[in-house]
Structure 1
């Protein structure tokens, strides 16, 4: 705006100089118009700033990486006289990246019209993408002067990772690991005496401690109790997401690693828990994963993850959240998508 004002002032000075050198009616009229134009322009822009509005309309909840995503913007001109010449300023970027790409959209809107503007963008990373409409310029009749109207309309689009399967071996130790749970398997028995899976006839290898004496007396045959197998989380998948070194690319890789690992474990019927530190609420977020549906729910929740800065608080919350809990394996996924099992990096994951 400063450059435009300086340029216009220079044009007025040139016209004034020519008027002094050549006193003609045409130069007199031009000089008067050039002097009055900024006043008229200011009045017009002031009027239009209250009548030209813009915002973000329909936004898809989610999209895919490297796929075109359509966002609907709108501009409304409530004036009955003036055409509205505008330029929208749109910012796009990751929620936690701090880096935003700026794009501009300009046009003209007739009096009393509302116009929908399709806006397209793509993202090369997974995560929560922010679409922000943070300003609009409105121009006068000839586009010489403008006024900026601040806007603060935002929307978010979740760019979901593809949850493909990965090479993974689940050992017998993990398969038979007994974890505390409120649910029990209806498909196989276990060793948890707090819940009975079924009662059946005695077999030679059964322990006498498992005999159901009351039912034995009633049935006039030895009956034994089979205990239930608890459906607890036997594997912990920990998301390590510190502020230091975090980036949109790193977060995208972490999401993709979590998606593949959790989907593979779910396909293998290995119930597990995904968890991470949520600094703003000073707590550990826990998410039980037992099916494909819960994997997608986990990924959607992870889009809201924010990096932490206080490592001491993270350690304290971790110890408090998992005190008394035991897991067959602890898998850590770092902020760059790297995976370690019980502190060791493996070429073929074995849990």
Structure 2
């Protein structure tokens, strides 16, 4: 704007000089126009600045790591009389708040017009990306002066990790581990007396405690109750996201590790739970995962995790949340994506 203002002043001075040197009516008109122009421009910019409206509805809420994302930014002119010349810059920020790309757009909006510009960028890491519009410049008739209108508009894009299977072994102990649950298997029996899996005829070596006496009297033969197998969470994935050195690469690696582990357990039909500490609300977030949909929902919510500072409170919440509850294995994943099984490192994960 400094160059444009300097150019305007130069034209004004040259016109004034020529006006006093030569007696020409056209110079009088040009001088009046140059003198009145700043005031007319100011009135125009005040009115025009109130007529521009941004729209980020065409920014997709979801993306995938390694694939390009195309985001649309719309600009609307609510005025029915004024044409508007605009210029604005779009910045792309990652989960740490750092800019990882920007692009400047210019254009002209006719009265009641709308224009959509498109921004395409790569996704090297997974996590939350933000499309940021801080302000827009509205120019006057000749593009000399402009008014800066602050928008402060943002739209978030959650870049999902790729759910890839990882090598692990689920032992017989985990397969046969019975955890408390409200849901029971319809395909296998267990030792939970609160639910009956099926009733069958008595066989040798069956316990007398399992005899269904009422049904036996009705059928006039001994009938035995088989207990159900509870479909509880047998493995716990604890995301230990402590405060410290934060990096976009580390956060992305953590999300990828959790996604790969949880989708592998789903493929092995191993019902499990993911949990992490939420310091803001002083609670432990728990997520039961039994299929691909619940795994995706968990990762979607995990992207909003914030690092915690108070390790003692986190441990207290952990103990309170899981008091009286047992798991066959507890896999801990730190902020760098490193895993430990029951507090110990490993070369091959055996649950």
| Shorter-chain TM-score above 0.5 | yes
- Please tell me the root mean square deviation across aligned C-alpha atoms, in Å: 2.7
Q: Which residue of 2 aligns with 1:176?
A: 176
Deviation (angstroms), 1:168: 0.8
1:250 is paired with a residue whose SS is helix
- Separation of aligned partners in 1, 2:5 and 2:345: 63
Contact 1:55/1:74 (<8 A) preserved: yes
Residue 236 of structure 2: aligned partner: 236
Aligned mates of 2:13, 2:311 — CA distance in 1: 65
TM-score, length-scaled by structure 2: 0.89
Equivalent residues of 1:56, 1:73 under 8 A apart: yes
Which residue does the alignment assign to 1:286?
A: 286
Runs of 4+, deviation exceeding 6 Å: none
Moved more, 44-53 or 322-331: 44-53
Q: How does 1:55-134 map to 2 (within 5 A)?
A: 55-94=55-94, 96-100=95-99, 101-134=101-134
TM-score computed with the length of structure 1 as normaliser: 0.89
Contact 1:233 1:327 in 2 (8 A): yes
Alpha-carbon distance in structure 1 between the residues aligned to 2:8 and 2:139? 18
Confirm or deny: 8 A CA contact 2:12 2:35 kept in the other structure: no
SS of 2:71's partner is: strand
- Number of paired residues? 348
Q: Deviations over 1:70-123 (max 9, x none)?
A: 2222222244554311112223223x4121343321112223322222332332
Partner of 2:315: 315
For 1:48 and 1:90, the matched residues in 2 are separated by 21
Stretch of structure 1 that moved more, 64-73 or 188-197: 64-73
Partner of 1:7: 6
Q: Does 1:143 align with 2:143?
A: yes
CA distance in 2, matches of 1:340, 1:35: 75
* Cα shift at 1:184: 1.1
**Structure 2 unaligned spans of 5+:** none
Q: Give the C-alpha shift of residue 13 in structure 1.
A: 8.9
Paired residues of 1:56 and 1:133 also in contact (CA < 8 A)? no
**How far apart are residue 234 of structure 1 and its match?**
0.6
CA deviation after TM superposition for structure 1 residue 233, in Å: 0.4
Asked if the contact 2:5/2:144 (under 8 Å) is kept, the reply is: no
Partner of 1:166: helix, strand, or coil? coil
SS at match of 1:144: coil
**How far off is 1:9 after superposition?**
7.6
- Residue 19 of structure 1 corresponds to 17
Per mean C-alpha deviation after superposition, the further-off stretch among 226-235 and 75-84 is 75-84
Query: Residue 197 of structure 1: SS of its match in structure 2?
Result: strand
Q: SS where residue 245 of structure 1 aligns?
A: coil
Q: Secondary structure at the match of 2:153?
A: strand
